[in-house]
Amino acid sequence: MIVTGRIIKGIGGFYYVETADAGIFTCRAKGGFRKEGKKPLVGDVVRAEVLDAAEKTGNVTEILPRSMELIRPAVANVDQVFLVMALTDPEPNVNLLDRFLVFMERRNLSVVIIFTKSDLVGDRTENSSIADLYRDAGYRVLVISTRTGEGLPELQEALEGKVTALAGPSGVGKSTLTNYLVPGAEMDTGELSEKIRRGKQTTRHTELFRIRENTFLLDTPGFSVLELPDFPEEELKEYFPEFAPFSGACRFLGCIHIGERDCGVKRAVADGQIREERYQSYRQIYEEMHDRRKW
């Protein structure tokens, strides 16, 4: 007997496959996947051979074609990513955020930036400043609090009808947000490390939750470092979307917007049409990639 379902969780070599009619099966992956260089991912739609219908055990025998896949977080068939950062405790890591945005831009994957813990920040000007930095870059940004309810109706609307992955550093409130959106999830939440003011990782695995019909949420383990994949640094400018309207005004074809004269992007930065913070982040990432390539 063969069943078809979606992997909702993978732990210790076991894959939990949710089917439409027969419930959830606990499965191993067939040995051939390793030889083929494949690995089942949470979010995959798979076929599984049933070993024991009563105990609901089986073997994953086939991974159906993916619409997309990510390595970090390791998920498949996602429609969008909610990139979650806290406004405080821990302070937002803008460099990590920009790296992740580049990562997603390369995959042409939709991103919504979520800033949590707005109730802990008294200065609303500070809230709007960092949010506007990314709104000005062309991203959809939501500022939310699960305590006060700020921004939560808009967040629910953004989820509707999609498979959404939550991603971001530890301690920013991803598991708290999951518990709000999926009351039965019962995800562990943790406190910040008092020594370094970073979040303690509470999510140890990626898990897919059904919120409503055709609306799913993936909670993923947190991370504090994201190394960009190996691609030519000359491509980096393509992944800062706010550069595009001004790159046509550059004098030189292939301008990288750093050392060249008569650069439309640099003029836009000087005129305040592109935010200085984003431009400096671009330069930092570019120079790091350039230096890494020299080695």
282: CATH: 1.10.40.50
Single-letter residue type at 229: P
pLDDT top residue among 195 and 180: 180
Task: Give CA–CA dist 282/244, Å, rounded.
Answer: 14
Which domain covers residue 169, as residue numbers? 70-219
* Whether residue 146 is found in the same domain as residue 16: no
H-run or E-run covering 112: strand 110-116
Percentage of the chain exceeding pLDDT 90:
66
Q: How far apart are the first and last CA of the chain?
A: 54
User: Would you state the structure tokens that stand for residue 196, as one six-digit string?
Assistant: 């370094």
* Whether residue 198 is found in the same domain as residue 61: no
* Whether residue 158 is found in the same domain as residue 202: yes
Of 65, 88, 116, at which residue does a domain stop? 65
pLDDT top residue among 81 and 186: 81
* Whether residue 55 is found in the same domain as residue 84: no
Task: Give CA–CA dist 125/135, Å, rounded.
Answer: 15
What's this model's pTM, rounded to 2 decimal places? 0.85
Of 195, 219, 243, at which residue does a domain stop? 219
pLDDT top residue among 88 and 197: 88
For the cut 70, the answer to whether the pLDDT of residue 200 exceeds it is no
pLDDT top residue among 96 and 16: 16
pLDDT of residue 225: 60
Task: Give CA–CA dist 253/75, Å, rounded.
Answer: 37
Residue 35 lies in a domain: yes
Structure confidence at residue 194 as a pLDDT band (50, 70, 90): very low
User: What mean pLDDT do residues 229-242 have?
Assistant: 92
pLDDT top residue among 190 and 221: 221
* Whether residue 123 is found in the same domain as residue 188: yes
pLDDT of residue 223: 58
Residue 227 lies in a domain: no
pLDDT of residue 2: 95
* Whether residue 278 is found in the same domain as residue 146: no
Structure confidence at residue 36 as a pLDDT band (50, 70, 90): confident
Of 65, 86, 103, at which residue does a domain stop? 65
